[in-house]
A and B are shown apart, each in its own frame.
Chain A
Amino acid sequence: MRLTQHSGVLNNGEVDEMSEYAIEVNNIYVTFNTYSGKVHAVRGISFKVRQGETLAIVGESGSGKSVTAKTIMGILSKNANIEQGSVMYQGRDLLTYSDDQMSAIRGSEIGMIFQDPMSSLNPVMKIGKQITEALRLKQKMSKTAAKDKALQLMKDVGIDQVEKRYNQYPFQFSGGMRQRIVIAVTLACNPRVLICDEPTTALDVTVQSKILELIKELQRKRNMAVIYITHDLGVVANVADTVAVLYAGRIVERGSVEDIFYNPKSPYAMALLASMPDLETDTQRELYAIPGTPPNMLFPPQGDAFASRNQFALNIDFAEQPPEFNVSKSHVVSTWLMHPDAPEVVPSDFVNRHVASQDANYSKSAHIDYQEKVLQVKSLKQYFTSGIGKNRLTVKAVDDISFDIFRGETFGLVGESGCGKTTTGRAIIRLYEPTAGTVIFNGRNLALKMKDRERREATRGIEMIFQDPITSLNPRMTVKEIIGEGLRINKLCQSEDEMMEMIYSILDVVGLTKEHATRYPHEFSGGQRQRIGVARALVTNPELIIADEPVSALDVSVQAQVLNLMNSIKKKLGLTILFIAHDLSVVKYFSDRIGVMYYGKLVEVAEAEELYRNPLHPYTISLLSAIPHPNPKYEKTRKLIKYDPKMHDYGDKNVSFTEIKPGHFIRCSNEELHQYLAKIK
């Protein structure tokens, strides 16, 4: 602290009208040399951040947001070239600094927090040492002074029992705790500028909320300038003062958080906001999906990069880069729509068009047949054991859960990572052998011990859609082979021609064309790949689809494409879906009923709307309160309700999964049941 103040005074004394900005980025242009040519990752980005201000840079993957951060930090990879521009920090251009000079700046003046807390800490070094290392090296602090400072920092970032924690190793910390430690390490040298590169993307929502609060609090205390990089508009609404929206290496819109969220002017920002489901999104409505995929930055488009995906693109958009127009003093937007001659397009254009184009009598639950249960899961248990004898360890991944899914219904399963939701899905389709319980599908119990052939027969009719569009398709097989595999294995077609026929028709269903059939997966974008995954699951005409986080690895703009596709297919084919995800807003948008899982147990099941309006279980309430909404006004007032798992340490008490009102189940003890009942009355 002392040091910062000191240098601040020095600066004020030296240069009177030292810029009021903590950091200024002027027109930087960064390219990467690759095998195939020059990738234009950042194409002229400028922004300024004041001391004590948070700038959020938001954009899809590949839009150049991380590259911008790395340029500021001077940690670009070797094949990067900074073609032009400057990064002004305290009156000097950081881009002209040598490596040695930069490493003096890095950490002590400008700190950076990375996405993955698992890999940003050295696993074989004690936590305390990692925090004090920078202090000892850069500030030449004595050992005891450094330790005192480290303990204080650990307290600041909200870690208790600091003395004991000081001597522990990273593996003894949870993900959220590690990110706190990373923050402590970064803050050790009192940086004046903090760059956060997706610091909460790898964390669960409840943890994310806490980390966001922590960063905000620390910023207030220390008056740092924060550059926050994220793709999550909800997080932006929560943390940002100003926002820069990036697309294809350029800032398309820049302004205060209110400007961007309530008065977006660029078609990209409008489309992005329209395509995100949140808890308030009308589930009857199809999401706005931005068509196409981001441009290939090897050959940046001549005009507006977004033009080819923009339904309201003007002719000029294809020919010429739009200049910057000032909407207000703080609000700058780069689109031809602001030109006086241009027609007017307002945000609601992006939403309305799609409600109008919809089937009028479409209703979410119209297809559900509540008489017929497609899947019945009863006290399903999935334990994993390792070691033998005394060292035997049992992990209760899924611990006694029960639910039914009706025909035509979409059942959402939400929970944080490690709560067993994926395991549940895999146990049902028999990728694992369940430890106990029954899973009735088509009148057969899938949880029994079965021979391979029997198992294949029994699980036919259940298909799965996987999370990762990269690893879920075999890179060695063409799309045709990938989709055709299920047909071939299950002998669902008589001839090659018939198979091709079926493949083409399913490709058409998921919005791909015949010519895509002979392609290899790596030629497709994330959204397209996920659609291929959907096609693979659909081609065998299953009754039940288990969708395991089908959209969580996709960019917001692409997520809507896939969700809409699944929604329309669901309607068309009357599919029953078990939808597993950690993102409650997506689940709520997509599902009819939702089950909330916590540590292997199902704690609450209810209709989507009911669960959202009247959550009863404290964990559900906490989960709901943790979700950031893309709405700055709401975000400013949102309070995270913490859930203390200790309150549900039932011991010997009799706990049951009880129907508290029609269709609303909750896991509770007898006493709690009375409390809940009193609450709903």
Chain B
Amino acid sequence: MSIKTSSPPKIRKPFEFAHDRSQQLKDDKFETEPIGFFEDAMLRFVKNKASIVAFWLIAFIVLMSFIGPYMNEYGYKDQNVTINYMPSRVPGLERLGILDGSKVRRVRYSSIAEKYQESLIEIVREYEISGVRMADIRFNDYIYRGIADKYYFFGTDALGRDLWTRLWRGVRISLLIALIAMSVNIFIGVVYGAICGYYGGTVDIVMQRFIEILGGVPTIVVMILFILYYGSGILPIALALCLKGWIGMSRMIRAQFYKYKRMEYVLASRTLGAKDLTLIFRHILPNAIGVLITMAALAIPRAIFQESFLAYLGLGIQAPEPSIGILLAEGQKVLIDHPHLTLFPAILISTLMISFNLLGNGLRDAFDPTLRGIE
């Protein structure tokens, strides 16, 4: 027998039994606080930096969609064609030379002195066309049009309406449409998917065939017909997005039901005498909630995108009401000359889409049951 430690450590009576031998050992006490499902998911969610950033971005955009339109004195439908296509001008930033309300324009060299005396910033290039001396000049449009004291943050559109106001209002409307579409989709999808998944068998076969037939109908055609028939309000557009939008959701929920209804705890509850509704709402659906929330988060940017697409086709919401899609559709007509009209809505919609996708991914990871309990 060899002993490797030369000096036994200094512990009081190291070689005596630590436990009272007559006493049974008990289960370990929990050292942690009880933690519920959502708290647990939350813990994991906050560890995902990208999702947190996305979440705050979305929160900011939603907030702005409410207060943005009231941050200046211009209404979303106040027209003034004399100040159309104003470039964007932001106080503070203009000193840095960006968003300073300047524009580049090709003019006769001679007119510089006549018209652009005050507003001229610099002459970019001089050249001759057919013997006429021309110049590309950068000038301050606000001074040029005599409204040097005004600031249109994002510029104005063809009718001189303030883009800032219209954009935030548009975001609000787009989000509203997306929200309605998503809620309806989830509602129909959950009910339909739950029935398919829970009862299975013949019911499932018939209901799935119906979905397949519906899935075969071209989306754009039904949406266009629907909007043409019901007019282009917020609700008709939102509902048009639901015509086929719930199919994906219902398939997902059906799969979840198939998965969870075979779980032993569902059987256990059944042996205790639970009714179908108890099983569905107490045992199966709550377990699918993670998937549901994730799907919802991912459904919103899809709806926004589809709404923009419809607006682009000319099926957008009724003028003068703006939406992101409408603004984009208007902006792209004058993309070369007045890029600001496309740029700001495009940045916003991109940010929204990316944020919602990142948020959705973060939620999916947070609700992933395989990661549960590791904490």
What residues of chain A lie closer than 8 Å to B34, measured between beta carbons?
A: 478, 518-520, 523
From B8-16, B51-59, B146-154, B214-222, the one touching the partner chain is B8-16
Fill in one digit per residue for A279-321: 1 if any B CB lies within 8 Å of its CB, else 0: 0000000000001110000000000000111111111111110
Say which size band chain B's interface belongs to.
Answer: 35 or more
Given contacts A323-B3, A467-B264, A519-B34, contact A311 B25 (CB under 8 A): yes
What residues of chain A lie closer than 8 Å to B13, measured between beta carbons?
A: 315
New contact pairs (16) apart from A316-B9, A540-B272, CB-CB < 8 Å: A35-B375, A292-B26, A292-B28, A312-B21, A315-B17, A323-B4, A343-B15, A429-B271, A462-B271, A463-B271, A466-B267, A467-B264, A472-B265, A475-B287, A489-B272, A523-B30
Does B199 interact with chain A (Cβ within 8 Å)? no
What residues of chain B lie closer than 8 Å to A473, measured between beta carbons?
A: 265
Does B44 interact with chain A (Cβ within 8 Å)? yes
Is A472 within 8 A of B28, CB to CB?
no
Does A644 interact with chain B (Cβ within 8 Å)? no
Minimum-distance CB pairs A-B, first 10: A316-B14, A291-B25, A522-B373, A472-B264, A456-B273, A466-B264, A486-B272, A476-B286, A323-B4, A341-B15
Report 28 cross-chain contacts, Cβ distance below 8 Å, ordered by A residue: A35-B375, A36-B374, A291-B27, A307-B18, A311-B21, A311-B25, A315-B18, A316-B15, A319-B9, A320-B9, A325-B1, A326-B1, A326-B2, A336-B15, A339-B15, A341-B8, A466-B265, A471-B265, A474-B283, A476-B283, A485-B269, A485-B274, A490-B273, A511-B26, A518-B34, A519-B34, A522-B372, A536-B272
The minimal Cβ–Cβ distance linking B50 to chain A, given in whole angstroms, is 15
Does B35 interact with chain A (Cβ within 8 Å)? yes
Name the residue of chain B whose CB is nearest to the CB of A473. Answer: B265
Is B9 within 8 A of A536, CB to CB?
no
Fill in one digit per residue for A14-26: 1 if any B CB lies within 8 Å of its CB, else 0: 0000000000000
Does A431 interact with chain B (Cβ within 8 Å)? yes
What residues of chain A lie closer than 8 Å to B15, measured between beta carbons?
A: 314-316, 336, 339, 341-343
What residues of chain B lie closer than 8 Å to A308, measured between beta carbons?
A: 25, 28
A204–B309 alpha-carbon span in the complex (Å)? 59
Does B125 interact with chain A (Cβ within 8 Å)? no
Is B35 within 8 A of A485, CB to CB?
no
Is A314 within 8 A of B14, CB to CB?
yes
Give A337-362 interface residues, CB cut-off 8 Å to B. Answer: 338-343
Residue from the list A315, A336, A490, A511 in contact with B27, Cβ < 8 A = A511
The minimal Cβ–Cβ distance linking B122 to chain A, given in whole angstroms, is 56
What residues of chain B lie closer than 8 Å to A320, measured between beta carbons?
A: 9, 11
Name the residue of chain A whose CB is nearest to the CB of B270. Answer: A431
Name the residue of chain A whose CB is nearest to the CB of B2. Answer: A326
Name the residue of chain A whose CB is nearest to the CB of B265. Answer: A474
Residue from the list A293, A316, A452, A467 in contact with B28, Cβ < 8 A = A293
Is B11 within 8 A of A315, CB to CB?
yes
Does B314 interact with chain A (Cβ within 8 Å)? no
Does B206 interact with chain A (Cβ within 8 Å)? no
A313–B264 alpha-carbon span in the complex (Å)? 38
What residues of chain A lie closer than 8 Å to B283, measured between beta carbons?
A: 474, 476
Is B1 within 8 A of A471, CB to CB?
no
Is B272 within 8 A of A313, CB to CB?
no
What residues of chain A lie closer than 8 Å to B2, measured between beta carbons?
A: 325-326
Does B313 interact with chain A (Cβ within 8 Å)? no
Fill in one digit per residue for A457-488: 1 if any B CB lies within 8 Å of its CB, else 0: 00110111011100111111110001001100
Name the residue of chain B whose CB is nearest to the CB of A474. Answer: B265
Is B273 within 8 A of A476, CB to CB?
no
Does A652 interact with chain B (Cβ within 8 Å)? no
Is B268 within 8 A of A472, CB to CB?
yes
Given contacts A291-B24, A489-B278, A519-B34, contact A315 B272 (CB under 8 A): no
A468–B14 alpha-carbon span in the complex (Å)? 41
A475–B4 alpha-carbon span in the complex (Å)? 48
Residue from the list A291, A315, A338, A459 in contact with B14, Cβ < 8 A = A315
A600–B105 alpha-carbon span in the complex (Å)? 90
A513–B373 alpha-carbon span in the complex (Å)? 21
A312–B271 alpha-carbon span in the complex (Å)? 43
Does A34 interact with chain B (Cβ within 8 Å)? yes
Number of A-B pairs, beta carbon distance below 8 Å: 168
Name the residue of chain B whose CB is nearest to the CB of A519. Answer: B34
Is A489 within 8 A of B374, CB to CB?
no
Interface centre among B14, B271, B275 (most CB of A within 10 A): B271
The minimal Cβ–Cβ distance linking A299 to chain B, given in whole angstroms, is 10
What residues of chain B lie closer than 8 Å to A472, measured between beta carbons?
A: 263-265, 268
Residue from the list B3, B264, B271 in contact with A471, Cβ < 8 A = B264
Does B210 interact with chain A (Cβ within 8 Å)? no
Is A314 within 8 A of B18, CB to CB?
yes
Does A528 interact with chain B (Cβ within 8 Å)? yes
A515–B34 alpha-carbon span in the complex (Å)? 9
The minimal Cβ–Cβ distance linking B305 to chain A, given in whole angstroms, is 33
Does A116 interact with chain B (Cβ within 8 Å)? no
Is A340 within 8 A of B3, CB to CB?
yes
Does A512 interact with chain B (Cβ within 8 Å)? yes
Fill in one digit per residue for B168-191: 1 if any A CB lies within 8 Å of its CB, else 0: 000000000000000000000000
Residue from the list A471, A518, A528 in contact with B263, Cβ < 8 A = A471
The minimal Cβ–Cβ distance linking A364 to chain B, given in whole angstroms, is 23
Does A324 interact with chain B (Cβ within 8 Å)? yes
Does B82 interact with chain A (Cβ within 8 Å)? no
Fill in one digit per residue for B256-288: 1 if any A CB lies within 8 Å of its CB, else 0: 000000011101111111110010001100110
Does B95 interact with chain A (Cβ within 8 Å)? no
Does B19 interact with chain A (Cβ within 8 Å)? yes
Is A523 within 8 A of B35, CB to CB?
yes
Given contacts A315-B12, A326-B1, A523-B35, contact A309 B272 (CB under 8 A): no
Is A523 within 8 A of B373, CB to CB?
yes
The minimal Cβ–Cβ distance linking A328 to chain B, given in whole angstroms, is 10
Is A317 within 8 A of B18, CB to CB?
yes
What residues of chain B lie closer than 8 Å to A478, measured between beta carbons?
A: 34
What residues of chain A lie closer than 8 Å to B264, measured between beta carbons?
A: 466-468, 471-472
What residues of chain B lie closer than 8 Å to A516, measured between beta carbons?
A: 30
Is A35 within 8 A of B371, CB to CB?
yes
Is B373 within 8 A of A35, CB to CB?
no
Is A474 within 8 A of B287, CB to CB?
yes
Does B32 interact with chain A (Cβ within 8 Å)? yes
The minimal Cβ–Cβ distance linking A21 to chain B, given in whole angstroms, is 22
The minimal Cβ–Cβ distance linking B120 to chain A, given in whole angstroms, is 60
Is B271 within 8 A of A339, CB to CB?
no
A296–B231 alpha-carbon span in the complex (Å)? 63
Given contacts A431-B270, A452-B275, A520-B37, contact A311 B19 (CB under 8 A): yes
Does B5 interact with chain A (Cβ within 8 Å)? yes
Residue from the list B44, B268, B272 in contact with A490, Cβ < 8 A = B272
The minimal Cβ–Cβ distance linking A533 to chain B, given in whole angstroms, is 8
Does B369 interact with chain A (Cβ within 8 Å)? yes
Is A512 within 8 A of B17, CB to CB?
no
